[in-house]
Chain A
C-alpha cells in the first residue's frame, strides 16, 4: 500500500511525511509500546464493517497517534475490496486512501496511519500477504499494529479482537530476505517469535460513557448465549483448519526434502564431472599438453534454487495458533460442562 504522491496532494503528502517523521523521531527513543488503546468507536466500526461484509473477509486502516508507550487508535476506515489486481486498481486504492485521509483531516481526526485491521475466520489470518503488508507498515511507523477480529467467535458472546506486531528479530530477517538465501540465518527465530501480541485497552470519552449509560437502562445486557452448552461445530471447524495447515506444512517439508535430494544429486554429478576433468588434465599434463579449465563444467551445472523457509515458518505459526485456539475452546467447554453438572444435581 504505497502512497503515490499526486501533484495536487503534494503539500498534503509533505505534511503527512512530517507527521510520520515526528512519529519516527518519537520511535527513535527506546520507548516501545506496551499496549494499544482502542477507542470504543473503532471497536464498533470494525464490528460493523466486518459483519456487513460477511462472508467475505475484509480489512481497513487504523488512524491514531503514539503517546509515550501506548498506541492510541482513535478512528478507522474501511478499505474497499479490490476488484482486480492490476495497477489501475492499485492506483484507485491509493487515491481512495489519500482522499479519505484528507477528508478526515478536515474534521480534525488523527491522520497518522498506525496499522490496519483484518477480519478472520477462526484465527486463520497468517499468510505472506499479511506479513508483507505489516512489514511495510512497521517500516514506516515502528509502532504499527494489526488488529485481528473474528466475527464468528464474537457471536459466541465474547469479543475476539487481538493486536499483533512483527518482532524486531523477524523484521531484521525479512529485510535481509534471510529466508530465501541458501542458509536461512534464523538466529534462533522460532514460529513463536514471528508475531508478538500487544495487550488491548478500550477507552471511551466522557460523552460516549454518557451515551452508554443511557443504553444500559434500555438494553438489558443479558448475554446468556455465551453460557450455551459447548458446541462441537466450532471445535470441528478448528480441527479441520488445523489438519489443512498440517497438510500444507507437510507439502512444504516435502518440497524441502525434494530440494535436498536434488541438491545432493547435483553435488554428486558435479564432483564426478570435476574428478573426470582433473584426471584428464593430469593425463594431459603428463603428455605435455595444456590443461583444460574447469569453468565450463561449473557454468553448465546450475545449483538448484533453495525453497523459501518463510512459508514453513508461517505454517508452523499457524498450527501453533490453531492449537492454542483448540485449547481455549476446550478449557471453556470444560468449565461449562462442570457448571452443567452442578446444575443437574
Chain B
C-alpha cells in the first residue's frame, strides 16, 4: 500500500495501530447504550503517535445524528469532554475516531474530513463490527488519505492498516478474569483468590507438559518426523529447570519454610494482641 504517493502525507504513513483493550470495551459499551433507532455510534480516539505506530489508549463517545446527506455532531460535547480528559491524562492526544459497523459510508468521509482532519494531521479510523457480519467481532483500522490537490480537496481514501490489541501486564490479568464470564450461566463470575489462579496455572503447565511428552514419544516411535528446531526448543525448556543438589535444596527449602512460619507466627501474635486490645477497650469504655 506504500507504493503510491497518494497515501503519504507530511507526517508520514501510519503503519500500525495498537489498541488497548479498554478502548474496545468502551466502544462496545457505548454501542450497547445507544439510543433507540440509532444504527451506529461514533466517538473520538485518544492516544499517541510514535514512529508511525499509533497507540490508542483511550476514547470517548460523541453523540451524533445521521441525516440524509449530512452528519450532525455535538461539537460542544466533544470540546468539553476533550478538556476533561486532558485533565486526567494531559499526554493523550486526539489520534482519530471510531465507528461501529463494518462499512465506510459517505457519512464517514464527511466526519473524517470535516471534523477530525482539523484536530489532528492524519486521523485514523477504527471500525468495530458490532453486527458481526463476518461471523466475528471484527476490528479494523484505516488511515485516510485526502484526494485531490491542496486547493481543491476532493474526498478521502481509506487504506486498511495493521491493527492489533496491546495489553499490559495488569490488563492481561484483568482480561483473564473477564474471560471467565463467558462460561458462566448468568455471565457473572466471582473474583479469584491467589490460590485459584495458581492452581489454574499449574493445571495449564501440566497440560503443556503432557502435550510435549506425547509429542516426544511420537517422535521416538517414529510416527512423526523429528524437527530439529522443535527439539532444541524442548531441550532448552527442559534445561531451564534449575538443578540442585538434594541436600542443598533441602536446606533452601527448610530455611524458606522457617522464615514463612516465623512471619506467620508473628502476624498471628499481633492479631491476638489486637483482639485483646479491643476487648480491653470495650471493657474500659
Complexed CA–CA distance, A323 and B275 (Å): 12
**A205 and B174 contacting across the interface, CB-CB below 8 Å:** no
| Option from B33, B171, B196, B257 in Cβ contact (under 8 Å) with A44 | B171
Complexed CA–CA distance, A52 and B87 (Å): 13
Complexed CA–CA distance, A233 and B3 (Å): 54
**A45 and B22 contacting across the interface, CB-CB below 8 Å:** yes
Contact residues in A for B201 (Cβ distance below 8 Å) = 157, 223-224, 226-227
Contact residues in B for A49 (Cβ distance below 8 Å) = 88
**B260 and A333 contacting across the interface, CB-CB below 8 Å:** yes
Complexed CA–CA distance, A5 and B171 (Å): 38
**B178 and A151 contacting across the interface, CB-CB below 8 Å:** no
Judged by a CB distance under 8 angstroms, whether A202 is at the interface is yes
A9 CB to nearest chain B CB (Å): 13
Interface contact tally, CB-CB below 8 A = 245
Total contacting residues, chain B, CB less than 8 A: 87
**B267 and A39 contacting across the interface, CB-CB below 8 Å:** no
Judged by a CB distance under 8 angstroms, whether B213 is at the interface is no
A41 and B22 contact, Cβ closer than 8 Å, known pairs A80-B87, A100-B84, A226-B197: yes
Contact residues in A for B204 (Cβ distance below 8 Å) = 222, 224
Contact residues in B for A19 (Cβ distance below 8 Å) = none
Judged by a CB distance under 8 angstroms, whether B238 is at the interface is no
Judged by a CB distance under 8 angstroms, whether A242 is at the interface is yes
> What string of 1s and 0s marks CB contacts (under 8 Å) between A202-214 and chain B?
1111111111111
Contact residues of A: prevailing secondary structure? helix
**A335 and B191 contacting across the interface, CB-CB below 8 Å:** no
Judged by a CB distance under 8 angstroms, whether A186 is at the interface is yes
Judged by a CB distance under 8 angstroms, whether A106 is at the interface is yes
A207 and B267 contact, Cβ closer than 8 Å, known pairs A47-B171, A202-B189, A224-B201: no
Give residues 301-345 of A contacting B (CB, 8 Å): 316, 319-320, 322-323, 326-328, 330-337, 339-341, 343-344
Judged by a CB distance under 8 angstroms, whether A278 is at the interface is no
Judged by a CB distance under 8 angstroms, whether A280 is at the interface is no
Judged by a CB distance under 8 angstroms, whether A108 is at the interface is yes
B270 CB to nearest chain A CB (Å): 5
Give residues 88-104 of A contacting B (CB, 8 Å): 96, 99-100, 103
> What string of 1s and 0s marks CB contacts (under 8 Å) between B176-192 and chain A?
11111110000111111
**B181 and A158 contacting across the interface, CB-CB below 8 Å:** no
Contact residues in A for B175 (Cβ distance below 8 Å) = 44, 212, 215, 219, 221
> What string of 1s and 0s marks CB contacts (under 8 Å) between B264-278 and chain A?
100110110011011
Q: List the 8 shortest-distance A-B pairs measured between CB atoms, nearest first.
A: A190-B278, A158-B197, A44-B22, A108-B33, A323-B267, A80-B87, A326-B267, A40-B178
Known: A106-B63, A205-B187, A335-B198. 13 other contacts (CB 8 A): A44-B25, A45-B22, A49-B88, A96-B87, A186-B285, A207-B28, A221-B175, A223-B173, A226-B194, A242-B267, A316-B274, A332-B194, A341-B249
Interface residues of B (CB under 8 A from A): 20-22, 24-26, 28-35, 57-58, 61, 63, 74, 77, 80-81, 84, 87-89, 130, 132, 136-137, 139, 165, 167-182, 187-198, 200-202, 204-205, 241, 244, 246, 249, 253, 256-257, 259-260, 263-264, 267-268, 270-271, 274-275, 277-278, 281-282, 285
